[in-house]
Amino acid sequence: MTDRLTLLVVAAAVGGCIGATTPSGAPSDINAPGTWAVLAPMTTARQELAVAEVGGKVYAVGGFGDRYEPVGTAEAYDPAANRWEERAPLPIRVHHPAAVSLNGKLYVLGGFTGRVSQVPQDAFFEYDPTANAWRQLAPMPTARGALAAAALDGKIHALGGSQDRPLNVHEVYDPAPGRWTRRNPMPTARDHLAVVSLAGKLFAIGGRQSFFGEKYANVEIYDPATDSWRTGPPLPAARGGIAAAVLGGRIFVFGGELPFRIFNATEMLDPAGGTWVAKAPMPTPRHGLGAAVVGKRIYLPGGGTQPGPGRTNVLEAYEP
């Protein structure tokens, strides 16, 4: 929990070394790199936020605001109008939460309160876009921030994260009984990872032990039918603070950070081929961002423009 304070102290000493941009190390797809569009910025600049798509809109919730203050604001982006609208705020101010869309509702899980002294949360909220209202649900069994979550087979899977150490915990919420259960944990304990669901499986991607600690390129694939994990093709570069999304049956990973380095990488994995390729890099290198799919585009709001600090309100969309 002291990594961020340590970073600020070290940053003052190294000055201009901070924020060097690192591209993808994967082979470039020169035939179909995809394109980027720069869109209307968020109302609130933030990083380490939660992002998900609900009803064709992109929701951005929580995160770090000014001076590392946690924020509770929620806003929704309408792609058709290229406009953000403020929505009812999250009941608590929190950074490093996770978000999932399921059955027309938005779910926000965990996160940290506080600034330098980061307190892990077990809070679990459901947002109804029609009523513009939040309600609190059964808390997660394990309080944590910097976790990742995804919906699979009508359930919400919450993986990894951190308390005072990285976790490999895997907990599943079933909306029907409104109850959490534990499943087989990830092989690798990590936080600042990304998780997506594809073809009935979960893909846990990247992450880290701590800011200055070990980084992971691991891709671990969970099969709910057997409650088991297997290893997938690793990321081209180990890092944390990434965002990921699925579009057209392929997995896309964006950004990330290492100490004093930040990624502009856009990378794609076709699970059938098992090979990562580099696509057109992000216009704004970032970490601590989120990703959501609407139509043929992946929308990426917010994030940090330097390792550790550097919040932004930018919104960019990638189309393969």
Residue 187 has pLDDT above 90, yes or no: yes
What domains can be seen in the chain, in order of their start residue? 3-319 (2.120.10.80)
Under the banding of pLDDT at 50, 70 and 90, the label for residue 9 is very low
Structure tokens at 271: 């699970």
Query: How far is it, in rounded angstroms, from Cα 193 to Cα 267?
Result: 15
Do β-strands 266-270 and 74-78 pair in parallel, antiparallel, or remain unpaired? unpaired
Q: What is the pLDDT of residues 115-173, one digit of tens each?
A: 867 899 999 999 999 999 999 999 999 999 999 999 999 999 999 999 989 999 999 99
Q: Token digits for 298?
A: 């992946």
Residue 1 has pLDDT above 50, yes or no: no
DSSP string, 10-76: HHHHHGGGTTEEE---SPB-SS---EEEEEPPPSS-BBS-EEEEETTEEEEE--B-GGG-B---EEE
| DSSP-derived secondary structure letter, 123 | -
Residue 136 has φ and ψ, to the nearest 5°, of -90, 135
Tokens of 24: 């993808």
State how far the Cα of 8 lies from the Cα of 107, in Å rounded to an integer. 32
Which has the closest alpha carbon to 148: 127, 169, 131?
Answer: 169
The percentage of the chain sitting over the pLDDT mark of 90, rounded to a whole number, equals 87
Tens digit of each residue's pLDDT (9 = 90 or more) over 80-100: 999 999 999 999 999 999 999
Residue 12: what pLDDT? Answer: 34
pLDDT (0 to 100) of residue 307: 86
The CA-to-CA distance between both ends of the chain, in Å, stands at 37
3-state helix, strand, coil in the chain (%, to 5): 5, 45, 50
- Tokens linked to 111: 């996160």
Q: Are 298 and 318 in contact (CB under 8 A)?
A: yes
User: What pLDDT band is residue 19 in, cutting at 50, 70 and 90?
Assistant: low
> Please, what's the b/e burial string for 83-92 (b: 16 or more CB within 10 A of its CB; e: otherwise)?
ebeebeebeb
According to DSSP, the β-strands at 261-263 and 243-247 are unpaired
Instruction: For CA atoms 241, 246, 251, 254, give the dihedral sign.
Output: negative
Sheet holding 105-109, edge to edge: 98-102, 105-109, 124-128, 133-136
What is the arithmetic mean of pLDDT over 192-202?
Answer: 98
Contact call for residues 282 and 248 (beta carbons, < 8 A): no
> Of 93, 100, 122, 125, whose CA–CA distance to 110 is shortest?
122
Question: Which ranges constitute the DSSP H helices of the chain?
Answer: 3-14
pLDDT in tens, 275-303: 999 999 999 999 999 999 999 999 999 99
